Amino acid sequence: MSTTVTTTVDARGQSCPGPLVELAKALKSASSGDLLELLATDPGSRSDVPSWAEISGNELVEASERDGDFRYLIRKA
């Protein structure tokens, strides 16, 4: 299981459902256990990314915010 980020998805500036669509696309080419980083500015992502993780069964490892920039670490199931 990787502890370093394998793919970064930069969805900054995109609104719902852009960040999740970009994340889902990146996830297709990732392997199980890969750690993906999602960067977003959509404030809706604060609730949407955890919901997405719950529905999709992938693990939200970390969520952080800095000056309106959101960063999420997701581990592919």
Partner 1 sequence: MALPERRPGTEVRLDSQRYDQLLRRIEALEATAAGAIKKKNKLTIIAWGGELDRIWPTTILATTAAASGMDSSVFFTFWGLFAIVKPGVRITGDNWMQKMMSAMNPGSAQKAKLSRYHFAGAGPTMFKKLADDHRVAKPEALIATAQELGVRLIPCQMTMDLLGLKRADLLEGLEEPIGAATAIAEMRDAAVSLFI
The residues binding partner 1 (CB under 8 A) are 13-18, 20-21, 23-25, 52, 55-58
71 labelled catalytic: no
CB 30 within 8 A of CB 1: no
User: 2, 5, 13, 16: which one is catalytic?
Assistant: 16
- Distance of closest approach, residue 66 Cβ to partner 1, in angstroms: 20
Question: What is the smallest separation between the CB atom of 4 and partner 1, expressed in angstroms?
Answer: 24
Q: Could you give the angle at the alpha carbon of 56 between the alpha carbons of 49 and 23, nearest 5°?
A: 55
Q: For partner 1, which is the closer residue by CB, 3 or 32?
A: 32
Whichever of 44 and 73 has its CB closer to partner 1, that residue is 44
Instruction: For residue 23, give the DSSP letter.
Output: H
What is the three-class DSSP state of 31?
A: coil
CA distance 4 to 52: 22
Q: Provide, rounded to whole angstroms, the least separation between the CB of residue 28 and partner 1.
A: 9
* 40 within 8 A of 14, measured Cβ to Cβ: yes
